Amino acid sequence: MTTSSAILIIGSMAFDDLELPSGNERDVVGGSATYSAFAASCFAPVRTVAVVGDDFPEETLVAMRSRGISIEGVERAPGKTFRWAGRYDVDLIHRTTLDTQLNVFASFAPKLPETYRDTPFLLLGNIHPALQLDVLEQVRAPRFVLADTMNFWIEGEPKAVAAMLRRIDTLVVNDEEARQLSGKYNIRRAAKEILSRGPRRLIIKRGEHGALLFDEEGVFAAPGFPLEDVIDPTGAGDAFAGGLIGYLACQPEITPLALRRGMLHATATASFCVEAVGTRRIATVTRADIAARLTEIRALYEFGASTM
Amino acid sequence: MTTSSAILIIGSMAFDDLELPSGNERDVVGGSATYSAFAASCFAPVRTVAVVGDDFPEETLVAMRSRGISIEGVERAPGKTFRWAGRYDVDLIHRTTLDTQLNVFASFAPKLPETYRDTPFLLLGNIHPALQLDVLEQVRAPRFVLADTMNFWIEGEPKAVAAMLRRIDTLVVNDEEARQLSGKYNIRRAAKEILSRGPRRLIIKRGEHGALLFDEEGVFAAPGFPLEDVIDPTGAGDAFAGGLIGYLACQPEITPLALRRGMLHATATASFCVEAVGTRRIATVTRADIAARLTEIRALYEFGASTM
């Protein structure tokens, strides 16, 4: 049996309006913290910091609690929940943001419950970098800090993003964001540039093509898991981050090898997320589901390395 | 020491006019047969079937011969050599074909030298599918047939492409071509559809993102090798096919494991191709260069599988 450390997740809890090739879906419960928390809860106890409006469904909070996710840090504020609207191309790879309404997040000043302040693992999900920093400062000496961000903040809040980069262990972004952040097209040069700005490690997500880890050992490539039925890619990146920090929270030490195995667990976790609209699948995924998919993912790599 | 079987390669030998982010290059010696032959010659003796015009440089043919590539099957015809012109985006991923002039290839009717007719390994490089079939029929019972094709033929010669698919062991195309050929966006569904049309195995190249092999064992993912200096992606797919068939020609049997290891050798071989304009680098790459890069590629996958 492994013991696992607790994970603190800050991010958005939201309603998403999705235009998918399979049809339009309105008022889908989403948000980076929601997806990441469901994913991480397969591995370790999770504590969530976010704000929701009057309109956020109680049943989602109940479902989270039933997975061992503490929602003591989820504030319910008067007003509307954060809302994102997006349209996916028919290939389910490219997407366009149609609308972002911060709503109750506009005036959110997270105040961590005292019981949260010693959490060793910290996931700064995709949200305003000032909020990420605010939470980071309220946690006493975290062992490991993983952060996500997006084009919206890279463009609009470059100083806060830069300050955040100096304070974290590992940044996780997609390839477009890595190019935007670094100003470099070549992915290896982009990685070098970003690593020079603070984080010890960088993970570049490439959607269906998997993800790359850049660290002191070099580069590791996690494959994309080719699924026959991709329904909704929303939240896959958040589920990836949740799966990664979840796996790490179960390890005695955060070594390069643990990171590499974490990348594969993260891939397995995220692969469930896209199989249904919203959080429908990720909210019920189990550690056993992940273990089974991990076997399939390892087969993608099987070339008899030991006898080659 | 391994013994290697001979490889017959049919494809184009060409001049390319390239618009690259690093500048424009005119009259670059290229063509699918040229790239594939240089790549495969690292592993095994190669025999080339193609046609060139009066204007094709003798020094390229000399360079090929010096690598153990037979050019007995390369016809020199009166007229101009095949010419392709293309423009690469700044990201070096997307490209646009600006012009294709078949020239001497328009009336080419390959007649295999008698010494070529028993070649066990056959690479039908990217060229008119009728020419691919013509060559295939002149080879007596080949052990292994690998074929490439492209959007131009999939669109313009669907019947000949379909006939070719029924006669080969393994098809290698890129992801766009796989989608076009199958009419399916999802890569796993596209693969299933293509495999139902004849080939035993399918390889889908995804540029910088590596390549997928679909066969009776399932799926194998070869990683893209992230290079810091990508100069010219032209011919990388042909070098990949050449490296793959070259590796297979050295194996006692074509097993799923051999295919998987072949995918990694193909990735290593192709990674050299893009480091310089045209065939400049691939024309001089050695088996030792490939072995060294293979070590780097294997590190991309290293997650201590045996102790996990």
Q: How far is B169 from chain A (nearest CA, A)?
A: 20
Cα B167 vs. chain centroid, distance in angstroms?
A: 18
| A270 touches A241 (CB < 8 A) | no
In degrees to the nearest 10, what's the CA dihedral of A212, A215, A218, A223?
-20
**Residue B83 belongs to what domain range?**
7-301
- What is the reported pLDDT for A60? 98
**Cβ neighbours of B32 (radius 10 Å):** 29
Tell me whether residues B298 and A306 touch, CB distance under 8 A: no
Query: Is residue A184 in some structural domain?
Result: yes
Backbone φ, ψ for residue A86 (5° rounding):
-150, 155
Query: Is residue B1 in some structural domain?
Result: no
Q: Place B94 in a pLDDT band, splitting at 50, 70 and 90.
A: confident
3-state class of A200 per DSSP?
Answer: coil
Backbone φ, ψ for residue A148 (5° rounding):
-115, 155
Q: Place A2 in a pLDDT band, splitting at 50, 70 and 90.
A: low
Average pLDDT along chain B: 95
To 10 degrees, what angle do helices B175-182 and B187-195 make?
A: 60
Beta strands in B135-177 (DSSP E): 144-148, 170-174
Could you report the per-residue pLDDT of A22-51, keeping only the tens digit for each? 999 999 999 999 999 999 999 999 999 999
Query: Is residue A1 in some structural domain?
Result: no
Q: Place A1 in a pLDDT band, splitting at 50, 70 and 90.
A: very low
**Structural domain tally of chain A?**
1
Task: Choose the mutation target among A186, A217, A261 for the interface with B, i.e. most B CBs under 10 Å.
Answer: A186
Tell me whether residues A221 and B223 touch, CB distance under 8 A: yes
Query: Is residue B157 in some structural domain?
Result: yes
Could you report the per-residue pLDDT of A75-106, keeping only the tens digit for each? 999 999 999 999 999 888 788 999 999 999 99
Q: Is residue B216 less than 8 Å (CB to CB) from chain A?
A: no
Q: What residues of chain A lie within 8 A of the CB of B195, using their CB?
A: none
Q: Mean pLDDT throughout A148-154? A: 93
Exposed / middle / buried, residue A181 (Cβ in 10 Å: 0-12, 13-18, 19+)? buried
Query: Is residue A75 in some structural domain?
Result: yes
| Those residues with Cβ within 8 angstroms of residue B65's Cβ, 6 or more apart along the chain or in another chain | B71
Q: How far is B22 from chain A (nearest CA, A)?
A: 13
Whole-number Å distance between alpha carbons of B46 and B34: 11
- Name which of A206, A227, A301 is nearest B221 (Cβ-Cβ): A301
Q: Which of A299, A223, A297, A302 shows the shortest CA–CA distance to B260? A: A302
Tokens representing residue B57 in the block: 């440089």
- What is the reported pLDDT for B2? 59
Look-up: residue for tokens 């690093």?
Answer: B22
- Name which of A229, A260, A303 is nearest B260 (Cβ-Cβ): A303
Whole-number Å distance between alpha carbons of B31 and B163: 23
Q: What residues of chain A lie within 8 A of the CB of B228, using their CB?
A: 186, 188-189
| ipTM for the complex shown | 0.88
Q: How far is A112 from chain B (nearest CA, A)?
A: 36
Tell me whether residues A185 and B219 touch, CB distance under 8 A: no
Q: Is residue B258 less than 8 Å (CB to CB) from chain A?
A: no
| A92 touches A230 (CB < 8 A) | yes
Secondary-structure percent of chain B, ordered helix, strand, coil, rounded to 5:
40, 25, 35
pLDDT at B305 over 90: no
Q: What residues of chain B lie within 8 A of the CB of A89, using their CB?
A: none
Whole-number Å distance between alpha carbons of A272 and A67: 16
Q: Which amino acid is at A280?
A: R
CATH (domain of A19): 3.40.1190.20
Whole-number Å distance between alpha carbons of A69 and A81: 20
